[in-house]
Amino acid sequence: MTFGEKLLDAAALKGRLCVGIDPHASLLEAWGLPVNVAGLAEFSRICVEAFADTVALVKPQVAFYEQFGSQGFAVLEETIGTLREKGCLAVSDAKRGDIGSTMAGYATAWLDPASPLVSDAVTVSPYLGFGSLAPVLELAEEHGRGVFVLAATSNPEARELQDQVGPDGRSISQQIIDAVAEVNAGHAAHGKAGNVGVVVGATLSNPPQLSALNGPILMPGVGAQGGTAADIAEIAGDMNHLAFPNVSRSVLSQGPDVENLRNSVAKTATDFPGFPRS
């Protein structure tokens, strides 16, 4: 199965939410946890217990683990592994991007089955050229794993870059999305959603066209940041069934009680229901 098909299956059972695991210092403190590896581990354990069987996709933010060095990565390995053991799809929010053998190293770290960090998907940056992503795209295709390519994010600095228009009249964001659509085209021909998705903000006022994508769309900016189900439907258009709203702050603010976190997921999910498979 492609990653896109796995994600559709998960969404049919659990709805379309992606919930982040974002153990930044202020949230650890708000949960009454120490800002150290022990606090990181307990925060992650609680999130896994609350989310592994309640949402389609869980997204650990790698930076908050990386700041604790090797011990932090050990907690991340355990978190990803436990999520996957429980049957939950895990996307590592690493936003890696480089060229040549370095990019191949990143691909191996996050998508190779032999890696201790292996995830169901990883986020990557295409801003050294879309072609630089070839190693991660190839490994994803080989193993049926996912890649989410940063395409149209909502922060003002990104819009200054990504809204720039090339000679053919397409914005940089649109060029990235069109390149992803080409990668997924072979699977589209067989009626399957592809392995490669994009990250598109749910609060964009001038979003790119997604109708040809045939891959999952990770959409941050909902919940506390103001994006709604109506915004997602409008931006995603024909690809709405492949749009996965990413919530973190609004759900995590209900911790550390596991039941409160679960209830928050259930309440949020009513705005973003699952859908029957055709």
- At 96 the pLDDT is 98
Please give the helix or strand (H or E) that residue 37 lies within, else none: helix 37-51
Q: How far apart are CA 193 and CA 184, in angstroms?
A: 7
Nearest Cα neighbor of 224 from 203, 193, 195 is 203
CATH of 3-265, one of 3.40.640.10, 3.20.20.70, 1.20.1050.10, 3.30.450.20: 3.20.20.70
Residue 246 has a pLDDT of 95
Q: 86, 95, 192, 267: which one is catalytic?
A: 95
Three-state SS for 84? helix
Long-range contacts of 159-165 (CB under 8 A, 24+ apart): 161/127, 163/206
In the residue annotation, 192 being an active-site residue is answered as no
Nearest-angstrom CA–CA distance, 205 and 162: 13
User: Residue 277 has what pLDDT?
Assistant: 38
Q: What is the mean pLDDT of residues 146-171?
A: 93
Tokens (6 digits) for 200 = 């598109």
More confident residue, 221 or 193: 193
Q: What is the pLDDT of residue 13?
A: 92
pLDDT of res. 278: 34
CB 222 within 8 A of CB 234: no
Bigger pLDDT: 159 or 134? 134
DSSP string computed for 110-153: HH-TTSTT--SEEEE--TT-GGGGHHHHHHHHHHT-EEEEEEE-
Check whether 224 has a pLDDT greater than 70.
no
pLDDT at 274: 57
For residues 166 and 111, give the distance between their C-alpha atoms in angstroms, rounded to a whole number.
Answer: 32
Is residue 20 classed as helix, strand or coil in its secondary structure? strand
33 neighbors 252 (Cβ within 8 angstroms): no
pLDDT of residue 229: 86
Chain segment 120-155, per-residue pLDDT in tens? 999 999 999 999 999 999 999 999 999 999 999 988
Amino acid at 167: P
Note the pLDDT of residue 273: 65
